[in-house]
Amino acid sequence: MSGEGRGIFAAQLHVDYAICMGNFGVFLYFSGRNVDNLMPESSHSDLELISMLKRGDVVAFDMLYSRHWSRMYQAAFHLLRDQDVCMDIVQDIFAWLWEKREQLDIQAVPAYLRSAVRFKVANYIRSGKVRADFYTELAGLSFPQTPGPQDYLELNDLKAIIQQVINHLPEKCREIFLLSRDGQLTNQQIADLLNISIKTVEAQKTIALKRIRAAVDPYLLAMLLLPVLTQYK
Q: What is the DSSP string of 59-88?
A: HHHHHHHHHHHHHHHHHHHHHH--HHHHHH
State the Cα–Cα distance between residues 212 and 134, nearest whole angstrom.
11
The answer to which of 136-140, 157-161, 191-195, 226-230 has the lowest mean pLDDT is 226-230
- Residue ranges, CATH 1.10.1740.10, the chain: 3-127
Q: What is the dihedral of CA 53, 57, 58, 63, to 10 degrees?
A: -60
φ, ψ dihedrals at 141, nearest 5°: -65, 135
pLDDT value of position 73: 93
Asked if CATH classification 1.10.3720.10 holds for the domain at 3-127, the reply, yes or no, is no
The answer for residues whose C-beta is within 8 angstroms of residue 206's C-beta and 6 or more apart is none
Banded model confidence at residue 153, pLDDT cuts 50, 70, 90: low
State the Cα–Cα distance between residues 183 and 76, nearest whole angstrom.
27
pLDDT value of position 68: 94
Architecture of domain 134-232: Orthogonal Bundle (1.10)
pLDDT in tens, 81-134: 889 999 999 999 999 999 999 998 888 999 899 888 988 888 888 787 777 677
Q: Name the percent of the chain lying above pLDDT 90.
A: 38
pLDDT in tens, 1-42: 444 444 444 444 433 333 333 322 333 333 333 444 444 456
